Structure 1
Amino acid sequence: MYSDSDLEAAVAAGALSPDAASGFRNYVATRSGGAAVDEEHFRLLTGFNDIFVAIAAAILLFAVGWIGQAIGPKIDVDGPSPFAGLFVAATAWGLAEFFTRKRRMALPSIILLLAFTAGVALTALTTFVLAIGEANFQDNERAIALVIAASAAVAAGATWLHWRRFRVPITVAVAALTVVGLAMALIASAVGGDAPDETMERIMLASALVLGLGVFLFAMWWDSSDRARETRRSDVAFWLHLLSAPLIVHPIFSLLGLTDGDATVGEALVVLGVYVLLGLTALAIDRRALLVSALAYVLFALISLFRQFGAVELNIALAAFVIGSGLLLLSAFWHGVRRSIVRPLPPGLQARLPVTDRAVAA
């Protein structure tokens, strides 16, 4: 299986001409019955060897983490050790030099990146706690939040170095996640202890929503630079959209009170209205992550709605039937529906969205 990133690399190396690569993409799209530009391509597996290497790497990372945990100083005697994260991060980087940089294996590269970032974050957090002193964090929410923020900042810098070295598409999203963690920790340190728990929860939800919108705009910046979705930039945007979706969706529905229990008829209708808006946005930007992230909330709202109207025994089945059939119909007619939504938009906005026809991109 070949991804757009592989075709991009082949064109850069001179193995394929740009016209040949474009023709191949259009041929594959024609066989699948859709427009090539409207497909969300990202590579996860190149073969079973990816799974084999990923399992082996996970076992090795677990082993070196255990060894580091055994030989290093620990927080609170039985807590984590800085050497556990350090050994995992160092091993992940070393393995990436071969399996990512030379072999370009997709799934192992993702696992190694996540292990590297998590290892750096754990090393930074445990080192800061041991250096400052565990007693200074007793009943001190601000100090805890600040050390988490500092650890997230270190992890963000390390992830940026990983991107400069290996260029794994998911790396930008992981770096964005560390920045989100940094911002959330700083906000928690600024208001922690001074606000009631309910107010604090609302502040954090609102902050997550704002940060999610920021990640969404960042993803759109990457998307707008590759409107035909032919380069690695589109892969980067895919992972950023996957990150931004829950950051946007969860706060919206939580602030609406959907997570507090059974939804009233009014709340259920509001949820469905929000989901329709998310669906229109997903169609316009040609990304399905928003729809997937909100599924659980919409199912819950529909279940409550059917229960309110007396369908107690079949409420779950009816809700699943409505959502499942609706999404399948949308998938079947995605390209046509998307064109009908994008074409009435202002030309300036259309110029920033993925094209509906590859000929337009050319």
Structure 2
Amino acid sequence: MAELRSILDEAAREGLISAEAGERLVPFLAARGVVVDAHAAGPLESAWSDTETLRFVRGFHDVLITIGILIALAGLWGLASLYAVLPAILVLAEILVKRQRLALPAVVLTLAVFAWTFRMMLSIYPSNADLWLTGDGIDRFIVAFPLIMGLFYLRYRVPLALALSIFSGLALVLALVFHLLQWASGDDAFILNHPTLVSVILFGCAIGLFVAALGFDLSDRFRRTTRSDVAFWLHLVAAPALLYSIRILLSLDGGWLDIMDANSFKTPVVVVIVALLMLIGLIIDRRAFVTSGLLTLGLAIYGIFRQGSATVDIYIFGTLIIVGVIVLVIGTGWMPLRRMVLRALPLGVVERLPPG
């Protein structure tokens, strides 16, 4: 039988009770004979040694239903009108999310709503060069995403829906800023003609997204509520956004995202940036900052190998070995490494972070 604290924490994450009520219920029920796991009844820090557990994967029951959702929606999407897909998604959401509170199906249905919105907006604003290169009309294209995802969150309380609403809302603000700059400058190709300013703005937006994710994280230090789930999804976007916005800034002098040039100064710089993001990930206990940089780290190491006289096989397999070793070292030693980092930080900062 699942231990009591785990059940109460799950109820708090689902919004059935508050986290404070769950804490009060533990001794109340234990005094009346309900068995509480000895480790779970200990200090909060020991009960939360791993604060980045994926809560949307809870069993094969969810996986089986999710497979059925994917197959059914794929068939409906191919045979029926686009307007018939959304009602089907909402009916499934009412049954599987609103009533049964299934986690993984909730994630898939949220992504289905997002994909449906994207396809619907494409039908209204067909893809063209002006939309994607100059940004002309991109704000009207994006405006539906924060609205629809926000309404979906208000109805079903899926953390991913709120994260997508925040992310698309920031994208809408970004599009409006570019539209305003384009109008003020009288340059229809402002995005293409001012790469430096555009790169700085993109970097600022990435910082803003990271701050939003960090805000959700710091408001739920022990990661018991859905705020931490929202933070997880935001970090999943914020980490690569930070990385690639910095890469764009570094590549302005020699081509977009060119870090594999053997004679380029960017390769060691990118390695340093990835290392810093990994350090941030250790501090805030978010592995997204590690995983998001693996591809870029691999490309950078590949560029370092190219500076020598090694064969192509050595380029490829040497890169794979180094990246694999880094992943294994960080993965297996995450908690000891994090404790070492936390010991170097001020006590006031450590007390606001997840326990190590």
Q: TM-score, normalised by structure 2?
A: 0.78
Within the alignment, does 1:109 sit opposite 2:106 as a pair? yes
**Would the aligned equivalents of 1:223 and 1:237 in 2 still touch at CA under 8 Å?**
yes
1:156 to 146, 154, 171: 146
Aligned to 2:17: 12
Q: What is the CA deviation profile of residues 226-252 of structure 1, one whole-angstrom value per residue up to 9, with x for unaligned ones?
A: 111222222221111111112111121
Within the alignment, does 1:49 sit opposite 2:61 as a pair? yes
Aligned to 1:250: 244
1:197 to 188, 192, 197: 192
Q: What is the CA deviation profile of residues 263-300 of structure 1, one whole-angstrom value per residue up to 9, with x for unaligned ones?
A: 43632221121122112111111101111111111111
Aligned to 2:304: 305
Deviation at 1:3, TM superposition (A): 8.5
1:225 to 204, 210, 219: 219
**Would the aligned equivalents of 2:133 and 2:191 in 1 still touch at CA under 8 Å?**
no
The 2-side partners of 1:195 and 1:255 are apart by 17
Q: What is the CA deviation profile of residues 189-216 of structure 1, one whole-angstrom value per residue up to 9, with x for unaligned ones?
A: 343624373634x544433322222111
The 1-side partners of 2:345 and 2:315 are apart by 38
Deviation at 1:88, TM superposition (A): 2.4
The 1-side partners of 2:75 and 2:60 are apart by 23
Within the alignment, does 1:172 sit opposite 2:170 as a pair? no
The residue type paired with residue 66 of structure 2 is A
Q: Name which of structure 1's ranges 180-189 and 158-167 shifts more when overlaid on structure 2.
A: 180-189
Aligned to 1:118: 115
The 2-side partners of 1:35 and 1:268 are apart by 41
**Would the aligned equivalents of 2:216 and 2:227 in 1 still touch at CA under 8 Å?**
yes
For residue 17 of structure 2, give the secondary structure of its aligned residue in structure 1: helix
Aligned to 1:89: 86
The residue type paired with residue 60 of structure 1 is A
The 2-side partners of 1:103 and 1:342 are apart by 40
Describe how 1:288-303 pairs up with structure 2 within 5 A: 288-303=287-302
Q: Name which of structure 1's ranges 137-146 and 256-265 shifts more when overlaid on structure 2.
A: 137-146
For residue 188 of structure 2, give the secondary structure of its aligned residue in structure 1: coil
Deviation at 1:112, TM superposition (A): 0.9
The 2-side partners of 1:9 and 1:340 are apart by 30
Q: Name which of structure 1's ranges 6-15 and 204-213 shifts more when overlaid on structure 2.
A: 6-15
Q: What is the CA deviation profile of residues 121-178 of structure 1, one whole-angstrom value per residue up to 9, with x for unaligned ones?
A: 4435545x5xxxx8xx987559984643234222212211211221112122211221
The residue type paired with residue 259 of structure 1 is L
Deviation at 1:28, TM superposition (A): 11
Number of aligned residue pairs? 329
Q: Name which of structure 1's ranges 245-254 and 144-153 shifts more when overlaid on structure 2.
A: 144-153
CA RMSD of the aligned region, Å? 3.6
Aligned to 1:73: none
Aligned to 2:345: 345
The 1-side partners of 2:203 and 2:246 are apart by 7
The residue type paired with residue 50 of structure 2 is D
The residue type paired with residue 12 of structure 1 is I
**Would the aligned equivalents of 2:150 and 2:165 in 1 still touch at CA under 8 Å?**
yes
List alignment gaps of at least 5 residues for structure 1. 70-83, 357-362
Identity of aligned residues (%): 28
**Would the aligned equivalents of 2:56 and 2:103 in 1 still touch at CA under 8 Å?**
yes
The 1-side partners of 2:329 and 2:60 are apart by 32
Whose RCO is larger (CA < 8 A, sep 6+)? 1
Q: TM-score, normalised by structure 1?
A: 0.77
**Would the aligned equivalents of 2:13 and 2:226 in 1 still touch at CA under 8 Å?**
no
The 1-side partners of 2:190 and 2:288 are apart by 34
Deviation at 1:99, TM superposition (A): 0.4
Cα 1:144–1:106 shift into 2, 3 Å: farther
The residue type paired with residue 308 of structure 1 is Q
Deviation at 1:221, TM superposition (A): 0.9
